[in-house]
Structure 1
Amino acid sequence: MDQILFFEIVTENRIRVLNGGELKEYETQEYLNGDLKSVTNNFLMVITPFCIANSYVLKIIDHILTNTKILGVAIFFPSTLSSFCFETHTILFLTVNMVHKDEIKEEELSFTDNVTSPVHTQELIKKKIESENKVNCNVEIIINTSFSPTYSQNVSGNLNEVVHDVFSLINRIEDKKNLASNIYIRSRSEDLKILFQERLAMDLCVGESYGNNQIKYLKYLKIPSYIKEASVVFESVREDPVLIGACLAAKIKFIDGQEYTRREDFFSKDYKDLTIH
């Protein structure tokens, strides 16, 4: 795995880089303007959300290949990599974050908020998330191993608006019950993640008296312990399904199968093997 540089686009301004088991986060331009000449990896795996424009991804790849001696590149969506980790053919992958704040902490509550107990504190945090923050949600859906661009999209607004948009999206899918049994929510804010789960359950789940096609419960995916312990998975990422999946996919793409776009093909604008998986 040390041959591979894992480059995850979080937003257009932030990235995560996994190299030799060391995971770091950077401002995008800070990393790209840094000392790329010191990169000794042979291969590049780019992980990009569906909502990021292809032209932007290609520009980043061009810059990295120009300034390194990397031999080949492959691109994946976070949802696809997570499906490898969870060993599922269907997944509702949601990346949910607050646009202006990543976390509202207890110490940020002022005396005017009338904090009286831990339970009350959590209620105040929830209210602040709902009232003071714009929420962004990247929705990626895989059905029967096929990525679904029709239903995958980026939505934003206040919490209620975003949950409603996700609810409307799921209800358009024929096998929504199966989708609702294979959910993973990724967030930089644990408070937002919990609140989003609660609101999603309130909107999606109905009682037993409704029809058989209605969603009666939500099931969230968990990483199998034997996947976490796989020899190709770096210890530093064993709680991150996206990067676990990246390690598994890297072995198949770069080491076993050699199914990647070579640098000379990329620079000749031959992108036929550069499909985003």
Structure 2
Amino acid sequence: MDVLSDLLHRARAADAVVRQLIQRPPWSMTFADAPPLTLVAALGGHAFVSLGTGPPVRLAVGDIALVSTKSYTIADDPGTAPQVVIRGAKKYPVTGTGEPAPRAPRTYGDGSPGATTMVRGAYELHGVVAERLLAMLPPLAVVPAGPRTGAALELLSAEVARDEPGQDAVLRRLLDLVLVLALRAWCASAAPPPWVRALDDAGVGEALRLLHAEPAHRWTVAELAARAGLSRAAFAARFAHLVGEPPLTYLTGWRMTLAADLLRDTEDTVAAVAKAVGYEDPFAFSVAFKRTRGASPSDWRRGRENISS
């Protein structure tokens, strides 16, 4: 499994809630308490996305916005005042009067001439691994229309209007496809974290894949270099240059990321978690974890218990 696929899998970026929005001007809606990652694609017409800071960004047909902030507004025009606030599964009037209205299961709005049609997918990401995924993106990333994303959006647009058995599953999988293609396009055209750019390098990219595939393996720089087809010195220098840190430092960070989620998601002992991420000595693991996460494994786990209680 490649590194991006691994992050999406471990962050549980699946089973997104898919909605189609069809709105006639003037319209404006604010999404409050949004999930960590939202994908908005313009299928027809145009829209403006605003985070409340910085200028609004226009979405033309085929453009995709990746939003990783809790509150944002989508409107036909930056000057249109928000009419509703969407929180959870309900729409609330901006005036604060009246009862909240439930949203339609999949599509809301009407298809009259001049309407803007969009699709929105909200992803509830999970754990510390999600932080690495979201670090790839600014709060608002716009991927311009392109042939690859366009083909996927065309399929999604055709399916979103259907109502057949298994439709939710089809829509979620198509949305996942759009998300991955959009992330690829963003990484190719913007300034993602150094490790993302390093994936394009044959040797260093292979090393990153190995570190993600087998984090508990007792990797050495010499073994990674051999697997990458480079000398030890050349590999170490190239990895540090492209990724921004030495290979074993990267490995430690990745192991601690996995351990943080294991401590909060499982009842495994600290020793078992240590072994799962490549540490035979629980004490050495605890020292590395506290240095990386700022808390001992036990304190980190108690933090989860305090949140859930």
- TM-score category, normalised to shorter length: under 0.3
Q: TM-score, normalised by structure 1?
A: 0.26
Bigger radius of gyration: 2
| Structure ranking higher on relative contact order (CA contacts 8 Å, 6+ apart) | 1
